[in-house]
Structure 1
Amino acid sequence: MAQFESLIWTIPIILVLESIGSCIACGRAEYRIRDECCPMCSPGKDPLFTSYDSPDVNTSSTLTEKHDIVILFSPGNRVHRHCTEFTSTSCVPCVDSTFLDEPNGLIKCKVCTNCDPGLGLKVKQPCTPSSDTVCGTLEGFYCLDPTKDGCRAAQRHSGCEPGQYISHTGTTSTDTVCAICPDKTHSDGSLTSCQPHTECEFLEIEPGTPWSDSECGVASLPTAGIIAGVLFFLIGTIDGVCIFMRRREIGRNIKNLGKMTGIVFVPFIVFIACDIQFTL
């Protein structure tokens, strides 16, 4: 009877101890699977010390007298087989654009991030088994969702409108800043400073605007005015010639008219024309 009572008290104690043991947290470099605290697979940043019964061909390891394995700077690894009471965790490297960047007890690696050009992104640092892809911004874009080392989404720099100038050029982290052109200046939106309007020397065809320069031209006389001016010049010239000829040649041409009919025929005609012109 006493033995039976002792057994009754022993069983609960054993169950409590097992429960307490199962609640004890695993170490920093371990993960729990069932009732076992299994060594994590290393991403290659820090060496991990695990117990094992033989060297693992899938890791860069050395076997000591105590059958401890030191996983030294191997690439990102995932769990191939969980540990048991007699064997340690079996790890294999991440492959095919996958990675794990922390010590883990995962059986699958994470898929590398895709830097989508449609989101304004490009590859800044390629993915490795132990690190994810780092994305940067395409030329002419700025980051909307920055990360520690890169960017998750970007947007194209804003364009300035006609009548504005680029006050601050856009960067990978900031958008373009536009400002309005002051009075008597202009810009088509692509300039970093507004240009002054041209001052026309003769004629202003179109006045300048904030988005366009002044349009200048040369003043032109009407066609009728040009013709009248030419005729006035010709008439004045003929009159001058006629007056000169009248003073110097009229007398001599009259005296010699009979003797030199053939020679003075032309001057005589000019004389008659000049006389008519002078009369008019």
Structure 2
Amino acid sequence: MSVGDDEIMVKLVIIVLMILLTVSEVYTPLSGVSAACGRAEYLIGQECCPMCGPGYRVRKHCTEFKSTTCVPCLSSTYTDAPNGLENCRSCTVCDSSAGLRVKRACSSTSDTLCEPLEGHYCTDPIKDGCRGAVEHTKCSPGQYINQTGTASTDTLCGDCVGDTYSDGSFTSCRPHTLCEMIGLVVLREGSSSNDTDCGQRQNTGAIVAGVIAGVAVAATCGGVAFIYNRRKMNIKPQQGMSHTGLLELPFINTYKYLGVHLDSKLDWSANIDAIYKKGHSRLYFLRRLRSFNVCNKLLGMFYQSVVATLK
């Protein structure tokens, strides 16, 4: 190949390259294909526009002669990375009905992070947060808490066996109380959910006998007091005569009128003696009632009705 041929070939190559460049420039606008944008740019139409920073959004896209116009995100919205968004993203709401509460509040540069409520555990975890939670399982009576629930795991329950029980809130089953060991008797047997009920040993026969004896003594006391009062009313005056013309009146030393004892000396000695004797007699019966272990309530009733009314 001669030198002239080489020159011709070089010229042909140059012409082909020029044609390819021309075709590329003409074809690109028609097809919508554009060179790749940079990492901090976004494609809009045929322009690679600068992105807005975190916490901002695009208000106006760039043009051939003007850069992108950015504005801050409004309250309850955010962008957490460089972007070409025309609207900020809405903040997540931590819904208590979904078992969630706020772990980290939303800001213009980060979304809300949620976590489980107290007594709940997460069933839909995400990075550093949670999107759904449910309440911990509650152990039933007869079960104990084998493993306490956490924010990420549920409660595990176990069953009580043998002579043990739990109301569902214990972390281990407890043994039934042995009533005999503490000097008591069993009122109700224990179960897996309840302890044994213990109580005092009661001597029913002695109680009934004491009550009957108390009532009998009270009745006797009342009868004696009644007879005593009736006899005191049958006054036997000493025989003596006082002449008042044609009518002779008997002379007596004492006389009971309206419950008061009057004597010929017109002092209170006879009345005081009568009250003392009645009081001594009734207090004696009160002490006897107490010796039969009559309850304080019955003793009080006897005192108020028999002793306190003494006059």
Pairwise TM-score range, normalised by the shorter structure:
0.5 to 0.7
Please, which of 69, 74, 82 is the counterpart of residue 103 of structure 1? 82
Change (3 A) 1:224 1:94: closer
Counterpart of 1:148? 127
Q: Is the 8 A contact 2:136 2:154 kept in 1?
A: yes
CA shift in 2, pair 1:106/1:221, >3 Å: same
Q: CA RMSD in A?
A: 2.6
Query: Counterpart of 1:16?
Result: 27
Listed as ranges, the gaps of 5+ residues in structure 1 are 1-5, 44-75, 232-280
Please tell me whether residue 37 in structure 1 is matched to residue 42 in structure 2: no
Asked if 1 retains the 8 angstrom alpha-carbon contact of 2:146 and 2:156, the reply is: yes
1:25 counterpart = 2:25? no
> Which is richer in helix?
2
Aligned partner of residue 179 in structure 2, secondary structure = coil
TM-superposed CA distance for 1:182, in Å, is 2.4
The count of corresponding residues between Structure 1 and Structure 2 is 191
Q: In structure 1, what is the Cα distance between the partners aligned to 2:97 and 2:137?
A: 17
| Partners of 2:146 and 2:165 in 1: CA distance | 14
> Shift of the alpha carbon at 1:103?
0.9
Q: Structure 2: any 5+ residue segments left out of the alignment?
A: 1-15, 214-311
2:53 maps to amino acid: S
SS at match of 1:227: helix
> Residue deviations 1:82-102, cap 9 Å, x none?
000011111111012100001
Displacement after TM superposition at 1:42 (Å):
0.9
Distance 1:213 1:108 in 2: 64
Match of 2:91 among 112, 115, 139: 112
Highest CA radius of gyration, 1 or 2?
2
CA distance in 1, matches of 2:144, 2:24: 82
Q: Deviations over 1:123-148 (max 9, x none)?
A: 11111111111112211111111111
Amino acid in structure 2 at the alignment position of 1:220: Q
TM superposition shift of 1:221:
3.1
Asked if structure 1 preserves the Cα contact closer than 8 Å seen for 2:28 and 2:34, the reply is: no
Q: Report the Cα offset of residue 13 of structure 1.
A: 4.8
Q: Give me the whole-angstrom Cα distance separating, in 2, the residues matched to 1:109 and 1:116.
A: 21
Give per-residue Cα distances to partners, 1:235-276, cap 9 Å, x unaligned.
xxxxxxxxxxxxxxxxxxxxxxxxxxxxxxxxxxxxxxxxxx
State the Cα deviation string for residues 35-92 of structure 1 (Å, max 9, x = none). Answer: 000011111xxxxxxxxxxxxxxxxxxxxxxxxxxxxxxxx10001000001111111
User: Which protein has greater RCO, CA pairs closer than 8 Å, 6+ apart?
Assistant: 1
Contact 2:146–2:158 (CA under 8 A) maintained in structure 1:
yes
Q: Are positions 1:169 and 2:131 aligned together? A: no
Q: Distance in 2 between matches of 1:84 and 1:161?
A: 69
1:218 to 190, 200, 206: 200
- CA-CA distance at 1:119 after TM superposition: 1.0
Distance 1:27 1:152 in 2: 35
Q: Once the 2 structures are TM-superposed, how far is the Cα of residue 211 of structure 1 from its aligned partner?
A: 0.1
Q: Which residue of 1 aligns with 2:59?
A: 80
Label 1:225 to 1:119 Cα distance change in 2 as closer, same or farther (>3 A).
closer
Please say if 1:207 is aligned against 2:189. Answer: yes
With structure 2 as the length reference, what TM-score do the two structures score?
Answer: 0.57
- Partners of 2:207 and 2:97 lie apart in 1 by 67
| 1:130-145 alignment runs, 5 A limit | 130-145=109-124
Query: What letter is aligned with 1:170?
Result: G
One-letter code aligned to 2:41: E
